Amino acid sequence: MKSTTFGKRLGEVRKNKKMSQDELAKKLAVHGAVIGRYERDEVKPSIEVAAAVAEALEISLDYLVGNTDLLLEKNVVNKIIDIQRLNTEDKAHVFALLDAFLQSHKAKKVFAS
């Protein structure tokens, strides 16, 4: 059972990105009132419109529809896709660098506490 609706997530993300309903509506070529109706969960967009909303907000559609609580920004997803396309050896190098960075970051947080 989803705890947060499409409309609530849409409103939260839009506000966090400091975008008005009218600004988002212009990106989607719809009237501003339509965005308000989505945010109040009065109507649900088609899958095509929901995908366009996610694209306009530069977030994953999975987050917007409640399939995940992890808000992935589009630039992060694009980097993951780029890494996935690498050959096995290059992927191993990227993951080794990433693991070292994350381990160092976690250690800094522990010592700062």
What per-residue confidence (pLDDT) applies to 71? 84
How far is the C-alpha of 56 from the C-alpha of 17, rounded, in Å? 11
Tally of CA atoms within 13 A in the half-sphere of 89 that contains its CB: 0
Domain with 14, as residue range(s), is 6-65
How far is the C-alpha of 96 from the C-alpha of 104, rounded, in Å? 12
Contacts of 11 (CB under 8 A, 6+ apart): 39
What per-residue confidence (pLDDT) applies to 3? 57
80 lies in the same domain as 51? no
54 lies in the same domain as 88? no
Name the packing angle between helices 32-39 and 21-28 (round to 10°): 110
58 lies in the same domain as 11? yes
Overall domain count for the chain:
2
Q: Tokens representing 105?
A: 């970051």
Res. 19 pLDDT band, cuts 50 70 90: very high
